[in-house]
A and B are shown apart, each in its own frame.
Chain A
């Protein structure tokens, strides 16, 4: 088995420039192995989402470096970063961000179609399997507006899983869900980690959900205050 950690963040700092510079995260050093379910907690403004965006290559640190599967992502150009996000990462946000004009099936197919390399029939088959795994197959032809909040989030999760990512990054994925739907989402995360060996990093401030993760990292003022390790 590959012993290289999935994520290896070394002294990562993200500072927003301006007349009064704002530091979002400060000197974060963090290693996340494959197959781990990590919950990032902390008070509002502690830098949880900022760290997630840095790990997900949506943002670039002003200092330090982040290695994903041994590759230094901070030196990659924008296109290579985008390609890495497409092939190796999956995002779930608090808001589902589904494309309104596309059906549920169409939304799940988008990342696979963009990645390419597979015939359309195979992509559709894979999308239907993902939806079936999340109990959403019967809604495949519906538009997102015809779904409940929990259903939309499950479709967003299916979309995040479309290209079989090594790392799933979730930013307050249960923030808009009731407790039942929130638990369902976390159950899916646990299943992905246990059954498929994928890695999940989820930002949440719901401590009871965070308690279900293998590892809990608490951020305060942009620094790691606690790491259950």
Chain B
């Protein structure tokens, strides 16, 4: 093996420039993979963490995924019955017996609940009208379900209890209205009720949509504003074990029929984008590595062409086909290993460089710098991609080298 390595290394060192280019090809593939993976996964994890952190893990809403079946359909299942122009009874919206239901759910281990009335209202301050999603909450329950209290940059959550008609606004929403803590805004609901509300606090969650469009008040105030006394239209849940969100949502919906969404379902569009994003990343890096593999293929093919005489004499000396093949495969291994090691350093450097960049962007989330995810798995994964690529690229021409007929070469050289 030592001799095989010696021969492989002399071949590579003899063609320094091509070897360096091949190594750099692999290094760049590995380096960019690590940096891109840190960037992409960092953002995705940041977003998911933020979402899990800020939002409830399960939301039960006062709606049904499947409309209730009509009595005639229940009596004659599968019968030739077709109902036309059904006029549903206009029922009062809201989760029936919400408080008792909330208590029943809260009795489950590791589950905190917050009954809420959610609705759209217009906030007016001076000549500015801004639409907001107003959450009517109970502060004592809310602090166990979301991180609103921690995200407050002005005021306190309990201020809602001590401020007459208090409202807590997202930072972006307050900015749009041009209000600060202590200002009074006029809130108008779709029911036509108008309330003067005093800004009791301002929060910054880091999720742009929340900060720009959400606001909080006491449940009772929201019920008054929407003219829906004692109505709760959402029960929001926080779980000790986040992995239980989807099964619990399914179980709750099966039991109570109210549409229950886990945080994954609520954010499935964005999570779907992440899947596409990862696909793009892996495709791009694969393309880089394929180009690098072609570089290795090229150099080893050239070396084999140049070293036909050496191959012939080695075979005449008694090197078997396997030994000859190993020489060239080992060249691929050496290029792959050196390329991967340099790529790891490059990846680390690029990630550090990305980490040092500062900016201000408001997208899904508000960010001041790239959220990066550092993990050895990325390095391992990059190596797992790169090394077999290099070996495969070397193995193809190595097979040709192993098949060289020494007699043909020796006759030609004579």
Are A85 and B312 in contact (CB-based, < 8 A)?
A: no
* Chain B 361-414 residues near chain A, CB threshold 8 A: 406-407, 410-411, 413-414
CB < 8 Å neighbour of B316 from A56, A87, A94: A56
B264 beta carbon closer than 8 Å to chain A: no
B14 beta carbon closer than 8 Å to chain A: yes
Q: What residues of chain B lie closer than 8 Å to A132, measured between beta carbons?
A: none
CB distance from B107 to the nearest CB of A (A): 74
Report the interface size for chain B: residues with CB under 8 A from the other chain.
27
B317 beta carbon closer than 8 Å to chain A: yes
Render B312-340 as a binary contact track against A, CB cut-off 8 A, 1 for contact: 11111111111100000000000000000
Given A59-B407, A94-B414, A95-B413, A101:B321 Cβ within 8 A = no
User: Could you tell me the distance between the alpha carbons of A95 and B315 in the complex, rounded to whole angstroms?
Assistant: 15
A102 beta carbon closer than 8 Å to chain B: yes
| Residue in chain A with minimal CB distance to B307 | A99
Are B322 and A79 in contact (CB-based, < 8 A)?
A: yes
User: Could you tell me the distance between the alpha carbons of A20 and B183 in the complex, rounded to whole angstroms?
Assistant: 104
Are A171 and B414 in contact (CB-based, < 8 A)?
A: yes
Q: What residues of chain A lie closer than 8 Å to B322, measured between beta carbons?
A: 79
CB distance from A3 to the nearest CB of B (A): 27
B69 beta carbon closer than 8 Å to chain A: no
Q: What residues of chain A lie closer than 8 Å to B7, measured between beta carbons?
A: 99
Given A59-B407, A102-B10, A171-B414, A110:B316 Cβ within 8 A = no
CB distance from B300 to the nearest CB of A (A): 16
User: Could you tell me the distance between the alpha carbons of A95 and B49 in the complex, rounded to whole angstroms?
Assistant: 71
| Residue in chain B with minimal CB distance to A160 | B317
A65 beta carbon closer than 8 Å to chain B: no
| Residue in chain A with minimal CB distance to B4 | A114
B255 beta carbon closer than 8 Å to chain A: no
Given A85-B316, A85-B317, A97:B309 Cβ within 8 A = yes
Are A83 and B410 in contact (CB-based, < 8 A)?
A: no
B358 beta carbon closer than 8 Å to chain A: no
Are A110 and B3 in contact (CB-based, < 8 A)?
A: yes
Render B1-44 as a binary contact track against A, CB cut-off 8 A, 1 for contact: 01100010011011000000000000000000000000000000
B103 beta carbon closer than 8 Å to chain A: no
Given A97-B309, A101-B10, A102-B10, A79:B411 Cβ within 8 A = no
CB distance from A131 to the nearest CB of B (A): 17
Given A110-B317, A115-B318, A53:B407 Cβ within 8 A = yes
CB < 8 Å neighbour of B406 from A58, A101, A159: A58
Are A78 and B320 in contact (CB-based, < 8 A)?
A: yes
B310 beta carbon closer than 8 Å to chain A: yes
A126 beta carbon closer than 8 Å to chain B: no
User: Could you tell me the distance between the alpha carbons of A193 and B323 in the complex, rounded to whole angstroms?
Assistant: 31
CB distance from B229 to the nearest CB of A (A): 91
Are A79 and B321 in contact (CB-based, < 8 A)?
A: yes
A158 beta carbon closer than 8 Å to chain B: no
Q: What residues of chain A lie closer than 8 Å to B14, measured between beta carbons?
A: 101
Are B318 and A87 in contact (CB-based, < 8 A)?
A: yes
Interface range for A: 20 to 34
A205 beta carbon closer than 8 Å to chain B: no
A82 beta carbon closer than 8 Å to chain B: yes
Given A101-B14, A113-B3, A86:B318 Cβ within 8 A = yes
Are A83 and B318 in contact (CB-based, < 8 A)?
A: yes
A37 beta carbon closer than 8 Å to chain B: no
| Residue in chain B with minimal CB distance to A175 | B414
Instruction: Please classify the interface of chain B as helix (H, G, I), strand (E, B), loop, or mixed, using the class held by over half of its residues.
Output: helix
Are B312 and A97 in contact (CB-based, < 8 A)?
A: yes
User: Could you tell me the distance between the alpha carbons of A175 and B410 in the complex, rounded to whole angstroms?
Assistant: 14
User: Could you tell me the distance between the alpha carbons of A115 and B323 in the complex, rounded to whole angstroms?
Assistant: 12
Given A53-B407, A97-B313, A102-B10, A82:B414 Cβ within 8 A = no
| Residue in chain A with minimal CB distance to B414 | A94
CB < 8 Å neighbour of B317 from A79, A91, A101: A91
CB distance from B15 to the nearest CB of A (A): 11
Q: What residues of chain A lie closer than 8 Å to B411, measured between beta carbons?
A: 49
User: Could you tell me the distance between the alpha carbons of A101 and B413 in the complex, rounded to whole angstroms?
Assistant: 19
Are A78 and B321 in contact (CB-based, < 8 A)?
A: yes
| Residue in chain B with minimal CB distance to A95 | B413
Q: With a 10 A CB-CB cut-off, give which of B13, B320, B321 has the most chain A CB atoms.
A: B320
A172 beta carbon closer than 8 Å to chain B: yes
Are B323 and A114 in contact (CB-based, < 8 A)?
A: yes
| Residue in chain A with minimal CB distance to B406 | A58
Are A114 and B319 in contact (CB-based, < 8 A)?
A: yes
| Residue in chain B with minimal CB distance to A94 | B414
User: Could you tell me the distance between the alpha carbons of A91 and B11 in the complex, rounded to whole angstroms?
Assistant: 23
Are B317 and A99 in contact (CB-based, < 8 A)?
A: no
Are B320 and A95 in contact (CB-based, < 8 A)?
A: no
CB distance from A46 to the nearest CB of B (A): 14
Given A78-B321, A97-B309, A114-B323, A91:B414 Cβ within 8 A = no
Q: Show 22 A/B contacts (Cβ-Cβ < 8 Å), sorted by A.
A: A58-B406, A58-B410, A59-B407, A79-B322, A82-B318, A83-B320, A86-B319, A91-B313, A93-B410, A93-B413, A93-B414, A95-B413, A97-B312, A97-B410, A101-B11, A101-B13, A110-B314, A110-B317, A111-B318, A113-B2, A114-B3, A114-B318
List chain A positions with a Cβ less than 8 A from chain B.
49, 53, 56, 58-59, 78-79, 82-87, 89, 91, 93-95, 97, 99, 101-102, 110-111, 113-115, 159, 171-172, 175
List chain B positions with a Cβ less than 8 A from chain A.
2-3, 7, 10-11, 13-14, 309-310, 312-323, 406-407, 410-411, 413-414
Apart from A58-B406, A84-B318, A97-B410, list 9 A-B contacts with CB within 8 A. A49-B414, A82-B315, A82-B319, A82-B320, A82-B321, A86-B317, A91-B313, A93-B410, A101-B10
10 smallest beta-carbon distances between A and B, as pairs: A86-B318, A82-B320, A97-B313, A101-B10, A85-B318, A113-B3, A79-B320, A91-B316, A94-B414, A95-B413
